[in-house]
Amino acid sequence: MSGVIKKLANAPDIYFIPFPTKTDEVYIDVYFRGGMYDEPKKDAGLTHTLEHYLWTMFGEKVNYSIETNAQVSGEASRFYIETTQHKAIAHMQAFFNSLFTPDFTNQDVFNRERLTIINELNTAFNDTEDRLHYIFRRTL
Ligand SMILES: [Zn+2]
């Protein structure tokens, strides 16, 4: 079965993609269809805030002991972890619980991530060309 993409479930769609060579590493990507372009103007930044909050809450749950990351684009939000076969089930449970049954009560994380996002925005949009590119893509 090596090298064959296998669909394991629908709604959400779950795929298993084996590595071409045997390895202990397990990579899990979760994509949500929906990103910054889907936000109503009055809620601009909500997707980015949600991405930071969920990523941080998961990271704290596993004490940042594994590689994890998240990104938000115009069309999608992505969350990702790297683990090992030995710990994959435990890490997947914690990861999926963080994403699908999140705890939104941690005000400290919200406040900290809000400042991080403001900092990112100041860095990412510090030149006119980047800002115009963003506005242009958003209006497509
Ligand atoms: Zn960010």
Ligand 1 centroid distance, CA of 117 (Å): 5
pLDDT digits (tens, 9 = 90+) for 29-80: 999 999 999 999 999 889 999 999 999 999 999 999 999 999 999 999 999 9
Q: The pTM is what?
A: 0.80
Q: Is residue 122 part of a domain?
A: yes
Tokens encoding 96:
């999926």
Mean predicted confidence (pLDDT) in 9-27: 87
Ligand 1 centroid distance, CA of 134 (Å): 15
The answer, yes or no, to whether residue 2 has pLDDT greater than 60, is: no
Q: Is residue 27 part of a domain?
A: yes
Ligand 1 centroid distance, CA of 120 (Å): 6
Q: For the domain that residue 131 is a member of, what is the CATH number?
A: 3.30.830.10
Q: Residues 95-101: contacts with CB within 8 Å, 24+ apart?
A: 95/28, 95/30, 95/58, 95/68, 96/30, 98/54, 98/57, 98/58, 98/61, 99/30, 99/54, 99/58
Tokens encoding 124:
């990412």
Q: Is residue 1 part of a domain?
A: no
CA distance 102 to 53: 9
Range of the structural domain that residue 10 is part of: 6-138
- Number of domains forming the structure of the chain: 1
Ligand 1 centroid distance, CA of 76 (Å): 14
Q: Is residue 88 part of a domain?
A: yes
Ligand 1 centroid distance, CA of 71 (Å): 7
- Banded model confidence at residue 3, pLDDT cuts 50, 70, 90: low
What pLDDT does 52 receive? 95
Ligand 1 centroid distance, CA of 20 (Å): 32
In the block, which residue shows the tokens 């972890």?
Answer: 81
CA distance 115 to 123: 12
What pLDDT does 125 receive? 62
Q: Is residue 35 part of a domain?
A: yes
pLDDT digits (tens, 9 = 90+) for 98-116: 999 999 999 999 999 999 9
Q: Is residue 91 part of a domain?
A: yes
CA distance 61 to 40: 31
Nearest CA-CA partner of 26 in 67, 72, 77 = 67
The answer, yes or no, to whether residue 126 has pLDDT greater than 50, is: yes
Ligand 1 centroid distance, CA of 107 (Å): 18
Q: Is residue 109 part of a domain?
A: yes
User: Cβ–Cβ contacts within 10 Å for residue 138, how many?
Assistant: 12
